[in-house]
Structures are given as structure tokens and as C-alpha cells.
Amino acid sequence: MTAPTHQPEPGGATRAQATPAPENASTGELISQLTDQLSRLVRDEARLAQAEVTQKAKRFGVGAGLFGGAGLMGFFGLAVLISAVVLALAEVLPAWLAALIVAVVLFAVAGVLALVGRKDVQQASPPLPTQAMAGVQADVATVKQGLSR
């Protein structure tokens, strides 16, 4: 039994060629089929990895935009709240001293946040196409198992 395959001809055209069934194929034909299948597998896995990374990048972009908008609104809310604290302290202290106290507290909080953020950034790992990598590892294991027979 043979299955038709399409072989490229000079000029870019393809021609149908019958591929012999594995039990009737010679060693050379089997190796040729293996080479074709492996190259097709590698191309398909590369396409899968590209699609996965593209999808993750799109989701990241939308999420980052929404997170940025939330951060901006939070910033404005915090600025109004800080102004209220300065005005409240100005009722019992001179206005310049109330503003100075609030500024020192804000700088201390900013320093702690910067240290924690730096630690998190250093521990972050780069985004990887995990599904495609798992697929490639499974394919390699299958090929190794097939060759060991």
C-alpha cells in the first residue's frame, strides 16, 4: 500500500509520488521518510512556539495597559489623600513642618518599595513557551524510544 506525497520539482511545482508502506520500503526510503517527518515536526513545533509566545504577548499587553490605568488612578487618589494628611497636620503644626513630615514618610515608603521591587525583578524568570518546550521534549523522548528498538 502506498500513500501519495508531493515532491517539489524545479520551478516550485509539486508532483505526486507514491510512498511505499513501511513494511515494503527499503532502508533508504525509510530514512528519507524519517528525515521528512522530523523536519516537518521541527517546523510545526516552531510554529506552535511562535503562536504561544504571540498569544502570551497579546495578553500581557492588554493586562499591562489595564494595570497602568489602575496605577494612574491610584496615584491620583493617593495624591489627594496625602494632601489631606498635610492639611490635617497643618491644623496642629506649621504648614511647612506638616509637609516635611509627610515627605519624609513618603520617601521611607518609596525606599522600602524599591528594595522589595528590586528583589522581585531579580527573581523573575523570562517568559518561555512552556507548552511548545514540553511538546519538543515529548517528541525527542518518543524518537529516542523508537530508535532504541
Please state, in angstroms and rounded to a whole number, the distance separating the CA atoms of residues 94 and 126.
50
Q: What is the pLDDT of residue 127?
A: 61
User: Cα-atom radius of gyration of the chain, to the nearest Å?
Assistant: 31
Looking at residues 38-49, what average pLDDT do you find?
90
For residue 101, the enclosing domain spans: 48-125
Considering the domain boundaries, does residue 94 fall inside one? yes
Look at 34-38, 101-105, 112-116, 118-122 and tell me which has the smallest mean pLDDT. Answer: 118-122
Banded model confidence at residue 1, pLDDT cuts 50, 70, 90: very low
Please state, in angstroms and rounded to a whole number, the distance separating the CA atoms of residues 140 and 148.
12
Residue 18 pairs in a beta bridge with 4
Considering the domain boundaries, does residue 105 fall inside one? yes
Please state, in angstroms and rounded to a whole number, the distance separating the CA atoms of residues 54 and 51.
5
The secondary element (H helix, E strand) that includes residue 17 is strand 14-20
Considering the domain boundaries, does residue 91 fall inside one? yes
Asked if residues 52 and 129 have their Cβ atoms less than 8 Å apart, the reply is: yes
Whole-model pTM: value is 0.42
Q: What is the DSSP string of 81-116?
A: HHHHHHHHHTTTS-HHHHHHHHHHHHHHHHHHHHHH
* Total tally of structural domains belonging to the chain: 1
Per-residue CA distances from 102 to 77, 78, 89, 124 (Å) = 16, 12, 9, 33
Looking at residues 106-135, what average pLDDT do you find?
82
Q: What is the pLDDT of residue 125?
A: 63
**pLDDT over threshold 90, residue 28:** no
Banded model confidence at residue 74, pLDDT cuts 50, 70, 90: very high
Considering the domain boundaries, does residue 62 fall inside one? yes
Considering the domain boundaries, does residue 136 fall inside one? no
Q: What average pLDDT is seen over the chain?
A: 83
Considering the domain boundaries, does residue 117 fall inside one? yes
Look at 7-16, 43-52, 129-138 and tell me which has the smallest mean pLDDT. Answer: 7-16
Considering the domain boundaries, does residue 33 fall inside one? no
**Burial annotation 39-48 (CB, 10 A radius, 16+ → b, else e):** eeeeeebeeb
Q: What is the pLDDT of residues 87-97, one digit of tens each?
A: 999 999 999 99
Considering the domain boundaries, does residue 110 fall inside one? yes
